[in-house]
Amino acid sequence: MVSDELIGAHKTDPRLRRKSHTYGDEVEHLAGVLRQDHDGIWFLDYLEFMKSEADDNEQYGQFLLQHKRLIDTQRYDIAMLSESKEREGRIDKLRWLIRLHNDHLKLMDGQSFQQETGISRSYL
């Protein structure tokens, strides 16, 4: 999560930017990865960041496989917990994680992604 206070501080405090960047440069850089969720909370879209930083779709596909494994591990861990506030909180976080993952999959061209990576989008 990225607080409104941090976003505001980023505008006025040059220590929060690269020395060679203006605020405008930073806004342009962050525009691709800073997203506002449906509930109004800002967050760094690390899946989008990894997509932009990956050398190719194969590398990004491997990252998405790891992300899916994380989701599957969390599902299993939650299933092992008894009913509690902790379990409910973890379920909420898992739902958010799944929604983010699925949102990225919906934006992908499944056929070309599979040709480039050998990974079926439906597997992810």
CA dihedral sign, ordered 71, 77, 81, 86: negative
**Contact indicator for 31, 23 with CB cutoff of 8 Å:** no
Q: Which residues of the chain have pLDDT under 50?
A: none
If 0-12 CB within 10 Å is exposed, 13-18 middle and 19+ buried, where does residue 61 land? buried
- Identify the pLDDT of residue 100: 94
- Identify the pLDDT of residue 39: 86
| pTM exceeds cut of 0.75 | yes
- Identify the three-state secondary structure at position 108: coil
